[in-house]
Structure 1
Amino acid sequence: MAGPSTQEPVKTQQKCIAIFALLCCFAVLLVLIFSSVDVWGDDEDGITEENCSRDCRIVLVENIPDDLSLHLHGRSHLPLSVGFHALLERAQHSVEMVSSVWDLNSWEMDPVVSAAQQGRLLFHRLLGLNSRGVRLKIASSLTNSSELEALAAHHADVRFVNMTAFTRGGLHSSFWIVDRKHIYMGSADMDWRSLSKRKELGVVVYNCSCLALDLHRVFSFYWQLHDRDYIPSIWSKRVTALYGKHDALELQLNATPATAYLSTSPELFCAKDRTRDVDAIYQVIQSAKTFVFISVTDYLPLVKRSVRGVTRYWSSIDEVIREAVVLRGVRVRLLISFWKKTHPLTFNFATSLKSLCLQLHNCSLDVRFFSHKEPTDDFQLGLNHNKYMVTDNAVYLGNHDWVGSDFVMNAGVGLVIKMKAGALDSGATVLQHIKAAFERDWRSRYAKSLQGSKVGKSRHSQWPKTHWDTKQENDETERP
């Protein structure tokens, strides 16, 4: 038998092992705590998942430059600048904002030029929020913005998201959350051009705190990446999605029953239960019965990695469009902007899509390019900056152009709204308003058809030759 002298070292060793095990557990716990997300002030406004509002009002907002002649056919949508100011007037506690660009207070233009006045007015209203007791919070990936520095000097809380460290991309999201009750989502940046010279489209949703609370969780995701160069392995429950493509929010939009949910990209930025943007787009196209209308600045199903310079085909969206057209007989219209930065391969992919319907019955796929043709030094003059899709039963509003690299590398947010069965017959809905906006642009003189077998006429030399025909089809008899 072992004597007391031999038992003592054994007990001491066992105690050391036990203490070491406890220290290891404590260290792991600390790592989990500090790697997770602590969400600031979630209960400061009293809005929770249990008491949030689903009875919402939605308004379509657009910016249409004065020098674009578009026939509204009696439908006048709320100007974007009016929608922004209406949101700021309602703000009582907080305004949370994300934008890829901050260029409202432009000093490059003459101060009396009206095109820049709306931007400067909005910027000065943001500067004045603190004096009203409204806290302004901004998440951005910009490192050298004089406007963000000025807002921070006026007590705005600005946090930097190091997108270069995460994906070598940018923070391309564009949305507002006001008092966690009202939201804006759309194509516009915090840029004076979005309020004057570019064509933008988005929605403002009022008194919709359930949806606003979920969008706030996306904002909180960005907020907690401040000065980090890694994505935490464990996230707080407070940034997980409340709704998704399989469990969408049921709500009333202008007294009409509908469902809605948010999607995000890139995949690395999808917190638990959050739907990816590409999956949301896929679901909307798959659920379409008769038509899919798409309006984007750029369409390019390619991914280019800047580090290696390797380009690969990105099939996620391109294939589902082809499937809808060929296998299900869904009518597709694709309106793409033609501008200084249009990639030459865009025309190849557009021609490939159009060729699907050659010698096929019950097949309809049309591609047009939207361009303001007047020569100008500012290549964004009249640019169609829209980023949306509308079908016979749903709408997708996003922050990305339909370019593979954007979805893979850049952060963005999408909003999917689907009308309940029978809701489309109950009167004008946001889907019908967006569809009308698309058809107005499609039938305008700025939308040109792609005719691969014909050569563009010399008077339209700015259009790519061998791709353009100035002849417009007669759309009056076309119906989805």
Structure 2
Amino acid sequence: MYRFLVFLAVACLCVPVRTSQSSKINIVESSPSVLHQSISESTYDAWKRLIGEAEKTIEIACFYMTLTDGESLPPELQADKGIDIFNELIRANKERNVTIRVVQQKPSLYMLNKDLEYLQKTGVASVRVLDMKKVMKGIGGILHTKFILVDGKHGYVGSANMDWRALTQIKELGILIENCTVFANDLSKIFELYWLAAENQTLPAVLPDSLKTNFNINNPMVLESEDREQIRLYISSSPLPFATQGRVFDLVAVIDTINDAKEFVYFSVMDYGPQSFYTEPTFYWPAIDTALRDAAFRNVSVHLLFSVYLHYKWETVQHWASLNALDNVRVRSIRLPQIEELSVPYTRVTHSKYLVTDKGGFVTTSNCAADYYLDTGGISVVFVGSSMVTEGLRDRFLRDWSSDWASDI
């Protein structure tokens, strides 16, 4: 089955496309101030600059938007940063006439939706909701994607939701690529697919040729950084029906990245389990787990960093222990100090989702379980070969691995 998926992923090849201009590529992070971690650029600063400098268009694909629902909280929680980003969106449209489109997962009863309702009601943004369960014909799943696309030349992809907590109270990691029309154009194809699917809550039997991509495992785009380094990458997608012609399926991308490793695999993800999490009954799903075990068998050093938090799935710890028992595998958990004085749900967790090896890297919006790959909307930026970006991912992983908040299981 894996080989068949690889065939699908590389069915459309062409001569590699190199950008004609220098692109700026940064790893951006969120880190609660209590951790006292030094980061090169924060998610807040990256988003504020992207939105604040937008001239023509802003396109956002997100799970939900709750940028303003911390407005009544004490200032030390820095919820005002979410309000600031929200106001930047309003200013972009009202003061600079920037066209804003947002596609989000269909809201549920427990999920506030007042931010997007306000943006739509006031004409700031055109909003479509995507019911992934309906699109996937009742299988389940949600739109879990998180990206921002600006002016057809700048893009952010990462773990951070459009939520004030993701800016100040949760550890997040993403990739920001600026001044690169090749990357932005490819990312826009995924946005347009979501936008199209949200119109009638279905995927057309025949998709427009404009949604095809030429960039994949065998034919990555080549970006030239400001330091003149050539960085090879492509964008993968899930679930499989959303991996349009030429687009690599996320599952193929992550397994390929692991299989290419010769020396090390470092994997940081919030939730991990070789099973389904949200399907009833749950089922065993060893695809990525098997790739990690196979890497260890090849004498590749595998380090896995999983999150422990209020809502984590304790039953998956037995799987962590099974991996940890293997030669060449070490598993650690990371647990951040909690906000004791106030009840602020869904905070103080390492929400990052990325994998780095000596041969490449994989920055994704998905946790590691069957549901996220088989019926949930997500995307990944996949780096082919070592580069300054993969070195940066490695350094950040090792920083967290050796931090006071990480411990052996």
Q: Which residue of 2 aligns with 1:448?
A: 407
Residue equivalent to 1:393? 359
1:156 match: 125
Q: TM-score normalized by structure 2? A: 0.89
Give the equivalent residue in structure 2 for 1:184: 156
2: CA distance, partners of 1:53 / 1:118 = 35
Alpha-carbon shift at residue 388 of structure 1 (Å): 0.4
- The answer to whether structure 1 residue 119 and structure 2 residue 82 are counterparts is yes
User: Please, which runs of 5 or more residues in structure 1 have no aligned partner?
Assistant: 1-48, 358-363, 451-480
Query: 2:97 pairs with 133, 142, 148, which one?
Result: 133
Deviation at residue 382 of structure 1 after TM alignment: 2.3
Counterpart residue type for residue 150 of structure 1:
Y
Alignment partners' CA distance in 2, 1:204 and 1:394: 17
Task: Report what 1:292 is aligned to.
Answer: 265
Unmatched tracts of structure 2, length 5 or more = 1-15
Aligned match of 1:381: 347
> Deviation at 1:374?
4.2
Partner of 2:368: 402
Cα deviations across residues 123-154 of structure 1 (Å, max 9, x unaligned)? 01111221202111111123461111111123
Matched, 1:419 2:385: yes
Question: Which residue in 2 is equivalent to 1:367?
Answer: 331
Q: Separation in 1 of the partners of 2:201 and 2:52? A: 37
Residue 78 of structure 2: SS of its match in structure 1?
A: helix
Q: Give the Cα separation in 2 of the matches to 1:303 and 1:274.
A: 24
SS at match of 2:79: helix
CA distance 1:211–1:379, change in 2 (3 Å): same
Report the TM-score when normalising by structure 1: 0.76
User: Shift in Å at residue 53 of structure 1?
Assistant: 4.4
Alpha-carbon contact 2:19-2:222 (below 8 Å) kept: no
Deviation at 1:265, TM superposition (A): 0.5
Specify the alignment match of 2:43 in structure 1: 80
Match in the other structure for 2:35: 68
Once the 2 structures are TM-superposed, how far is the Cα of residue 155 of structure 1 from its aligned partner? 3.0
The whole-number CA distance in structure 2 between the counterparts of 1:344 and 1:51 is 46
Distance in 1 (alpha carbons) for counterparts of 2:131 and 2:313: 27
Tell me how far apart the structure 2 counterparts of residues 159 and 294 of structure 1 sit (CA, whole Å).
Answer: 34
Post-superposition offset of 1:247: 1.3
- What is the identity, as a one-letter code, of the residue corresponding to 2:78? A
1:241 aligns with 2:204: no
Paired amino acid for 2:360: A
Count of aligned pairs between the two proteins:
382
- In 2, Cα distance between equivalents of 1:437 and 1:249: 25
Q: Who is 1:10 aligned against?
A: none
Paired residue type of 2:231: A
How far does the alpha carbon of each residue in 1:66-89 deviate from its partner, in whole angstroms, 9 at most, with x for none? 11144x4xxx41111111111123
Asked whether the 8 Å contact 2:132–2:142 carries over to 1, the reply is yes
Q: 1:5-404 residue pairs with structure 2 within 5 A?
A: 53=20, 55-70=22-37, 72=38, 76-107=39-70, 109-110=72-73, 112=75, 114-131=77-94, 132-143=96-107, 145-152=113-120, 153-167=122-136, 168-254=140-226, 255-304=228-277, 306=279, 309-326=280-297, 328-357=298-327, 364-374=328-338, 376=340, 377-404=343-370
* Larger CA Rg, structure 1 vs 2: 1
**Aligned-pair distance for 1:52?**
6.3
Deviation per CA, 1:443-469: give whole Å up to 9, x if none.
01100101xxxxxxxxxxxxxxxxxxx
Matched to 2:334, the amino acid is: F
Q: Kindly indicate whether the alpha-carbon contact (under 8 Å) linking 2:302 and 2:330 is maintained by their aligned counterparts in 1.
A: yes
Contact 1:336–1:370 at 8 Å: present in 2 too?
yes
Runs of 4 or more consecutive aligned structure 1 residues displaced over 6 Å after TM superposition? 49-52
Contact 2:19 2:223 (8 Å CA) reproduced: no
Distance 1:207 1:370, change over 3 A: same
Cα separation, 2, equivalents of 1:325 and 1:182: 38
Report the Cα offset of residue 182 of structure 1: 0.6
Q: Is the 8 A contact 2:135 2:197 kept in 1?
A: no
